[in-house]
Amino acid sequence: MALAITEDCVRCWACLPLCPNEAISAGAAGFDIDPQRCTECVGDFAAPQCGEICPAEGALVDAWGHALNPPGSLGGAPVAAAAPAPGPRPGC
């Protein structure tokens, strides 16, 4: 029972200090979760803390490879819905 970090990680550091088990590390190759330490936050929090704060869709996956934040789940949907979007202006 452990999560893993994929190539979609943007290396923002947000997850690292939140992990109750110090399972996350920042190495030269990117961010990584130690599967021996990760408990998916069970017993500590209602939801995996890394998954709750991660801004990158697809960066965190469970043991079956399912993304905690699948494509479209974190985007700024309200923008597209609410703002009639004028095209970029020349010179802007």
Residues making contact with other proteins (CB under 8 A): 10, 12-14, 16-17, 45-47, 49, 52-53, 55-56, 74-80, 82-89, 91-92
- C-alpha–C-alpha distance, residues 6 and 65, integer Å: 9
> What are the helix and strand counts (H, E) for the chain?
2, 4
The C-alpha atoms of residue 1 and residue 63 are separated, in whole angstroms, by 7
Distance, in Å, from the CA atom of 12 to the CA atom of 76, rounded to the nearest integer, reads 18
Residue number with CB closer to other proteins (1 or 46): 46
The least CB distance from residue 39 to other proteins, in Å, is: 15
* Positions in the binding site for ligand SF4 (CB under 6 A): 3, 5, 9-15, 18-21, 23-24, 31, 33, 38-41, 48-50, 53-54, 56, 59-60
